[in-house]
Amino acid sequence: MSNSNINSVIAVLPVKDQDAAVLWYKKLLGRDADIVPVDGVAEWQLAENAWIQVTTDPERAGSATVIIGVNDIESQCKFCAAANVPHGEIIEYPEIIKMIEVIDPEGNKIAFVQDISNAA
């Protein structure tokens, strides 16, 4: 399926405590937010046209799941460990993906996924 009109994606992670969430995502991503367009919103650019947005939304806090593609799941595990961000065990779907899950303090799920479908 192709729609040449689509040019970007932003995943929204709703939180109750914006300040605590921004500090946690700084650890997870290893850097400050790329932009803070308004109070209660912080955004990180993950790839050319892919962003995550942490936003204050108490009614929906903890209800999001974001899947982030990575080149090497082992490297991501090491990065999480160095940042003191706990993650689950590596789950492998043979010849499809390897993945880990991280849960933010609000309960939002971040899945890091390595595509292994073309692995030699």
Instruction: Pick the closest to residue 111 from 36, 103, 7, 37 (CA basis).
Output: 103
For position 120, what pLDDT does the model report?
62
Question: Which residue intervals of the chain are DSSP H helices?
Answer: 18-29, 73-82
Q: What is the pLDDT along the chain (120 residues), one digit of tens a residue?
A: 566 788 889 999 999 999 999 999 999 999 999 999 999 999 999 999 999 999 999 999 999 999 999 999 999 999 999 999 999 999 999 999 999 999 999 999 999 999 999 876
Q: So what's the pLDDT on residue 74?
A: 96
pLDDT at 5: 81
What pLDDT does residue 7 have?
Answer: 85
Domains of the chain: 9-115 (3.10.180.10)
What pTM does this model have?
0.90
Separation in Å, CA 102 to CA 44, 49, 57, 95, 99: 17, 23, 20, 23, 10
pLDDT computed for residue 3 by the predictor: 66
